[in-house]
């Protein structure tokens, strides 16, 4: 599946690539899996509920999530962080 990354998330990913190489590698791996099969079990993809009902979550590892909106042309990723960080915004 094709995807785009928001400008804000792109800035955050560049910071991660500089400061946390292991996390950057995990993100790249998950993006690769997402492109092949956006419902791959290791992505632990799920649609959020309530007022976040149009947003999907993908796991990078057991503590880091990435949020996106799923559209006809692909996915638009816009946030990354721990469970508490991204769901409290």
pTM listed for this prediction: 0.91
CATH number at residue 14: 3.30.2310.20
- Give tens-digit pLDDT for 48-84: 988 888 999 999 999 999 999 999 999 999 999 998 8
What is the tally of structural domains in the chain? 1
Q: How far is CA 63 from CA 7, 44, 60, 74, 89, in A?
A: 23, 12, 8, 25, 17
- Domain span at residue 83? 3-87
């Amino acid at each position: 599946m094709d995807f785009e990354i928001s400008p804000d998330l792109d800035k955050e990913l560049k910071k991660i690539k500089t400061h946390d190489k292991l996390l950057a590698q995990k993100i790249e791996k998950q993006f690769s899996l997402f492109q092949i099969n956006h419902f791959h079990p290791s992505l632990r993809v799920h649609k959020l509920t309530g007022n976040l009902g149009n947003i999907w979550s993908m796991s990078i590892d057991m503590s880091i999530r990435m949020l996106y909106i799923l559209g006809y042309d692909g996915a638009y990723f816009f946030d990354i962080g721990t469970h508490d960080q991204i769901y409290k915004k």
